[in-house]
Amino acid sequence: MPIQTVTPRRLYRQIADQLRSLIHAGEFPVGTRLPPERDLAVQLGVSRPSVREALIALEVEGLVEVRVGSGIHVLAREPAATATRVDAAFGPFEVIRARQVLEGELAALAARQMTAGQQEALREALVLMAEDVAQGRSPSRGDRQFHLCIAEAADNGPLLRTVAELYDERNTPLFEQLGHHYETGPTWRLALAEHQAVADAIADADAEGA
């Protein structure tokens, strides 16, 4: 059963389905490793981020384990009965790209029209983030408040709801598993510094800097 090129529609799910079928058919036996991410991307005719999303989905299902520096190890031919089947409409990197486009524009808008009260709420969100980072915890509670404060400055209900819904995609199994691999104390500290810079630019009415 050779690997086949896939079409770009819900790409990570198509990739995961094909790899799942190959594992089930014994093309990649339990205890062996899948080809490297780069090789899979070439064989499938897709980008590496799409492959990464698919592998994370299979990891959530318990079929593989992604080990940094060691590769992608096959753990089982079938998902465990208690495993979560990933069926998110959008992959994490697609959501991240959407947030970057939308929230960058909202930050610039906030720099022009955020009220004093909204700026105070923004500073409170930063305090929450700093407290969690100092305790070695994910700063997600303050982070969510931070982004919603910026969206509220637009005074546009649909935009605020969109930002909230995109942010809450972080609570899906796929996003959470991705966080296990990429979110660490250093990345949280970097995120806090970046958020502080955005808040400073907004306070200075610097739309370009925000």
Going along the chain from its start, the domains and CATH numbers come out as: 11-74 (1.10.10.10), 92-203 (1.20.120.530)
Location of structure tokens 């004093």: 116
Over 80: is that where the pLDDT of 177 sits?
A: yes
Does the CA dihedral 175-177-182-185 come out positive or negative?
positive
pLDDT of residue 181: 87
Q: What's the Cα-to-Cα distance from 25 to each of 16, 43, 159, rounded to whole Å?
A: 14, 18, 46
Check residues 81 and 24 and name the one with the higher pLDDT: 24
Answer whether residue 7 shows pLDDT above 90.
Answer: no
Average pLDDT over residues 174-184: 89
Instruction: Identify the pLDDT of residue 75.
Output: 93
Burial 160-181 (b: 16+ CB within 10 A, else e): bebbeebbebbebbbbebbbee
CB burial of residue 2 (10 Å; 0-12, 13-18, 19+): exposed
Q: Which two tokens stand for residue 124?
A: 């409170």
Among 4-18, 98-112, 174-188, the least confident range: 4-18
Tokens of residue 151, six digits = 């969206």
pLDDT digits (tens, 9 = 90+) for 77-95: 887 666 666 766 788 888 9
Burial per residue of 18-36, b for 16 or more beta-carbon CB atoms within 10 angstroms, e otherwise: bbbebbeeeebeeeeebbe
More confident residue, 87 or 203: 203
pLDDT digits (tens, 9 = 90+) for 95-145: 999 999 999 999 999 999 999 999 999 999 999 999 999 999 999 999 999
